[in-house]
């Protein structure tokens, strides 16, 4: 399945991050001063756990979900090779 979010490593392979394929950038959070804080993990498993928790919260309505967050079959993805 192809989705909006992809767990991947930074180019220097120092940390794991979540790539937002719609924004074509790494996921961040805003702090109280509107500064972007990078979301980075030392392991793939930790990044995947964070993303799974986001999916769970978006799915049950605990937090507002971004558009197009659900995974979809590859043939519906703009990145699908035809």
Q: Residue 43, SS3?
A: coil
| Beta strand residue intervals within the chain, DSSP E | 5-9, 16-20, 25-26, 28-30, 36-38
pLDDT at 10 over 60: yes
pLDDT at 2 over 80: no
Are the C-beta atoms of residues 17 and 26 closer than 8 Å to each other? yes
| Residue pLDDT, tens place only, 44-81 | 999 999 999 999 999 899 999 888 787 665 555 555 55
Q: Residue 9, SS3?
A: strand
Mean pLDDT of 21-45: 94
């Amino acid at each position: 399945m192809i989705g909006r979010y992809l767990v991947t490593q930074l180019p220097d392979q120092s940390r794991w991050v979540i790539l937002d394929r719609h924004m074509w950038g790494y996921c961040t959070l805003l702090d109280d001063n509107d500064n972007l804080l990078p979301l980075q993990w030392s392991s793939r498993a930790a990044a995947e756990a964070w993303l799974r928790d986001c999916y769970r919260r978006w799915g049950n309505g605990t937090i507002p979900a971004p558009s197009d967050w659900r995974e979809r079959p590859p043939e519906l993805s703009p990145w699908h090779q035809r």
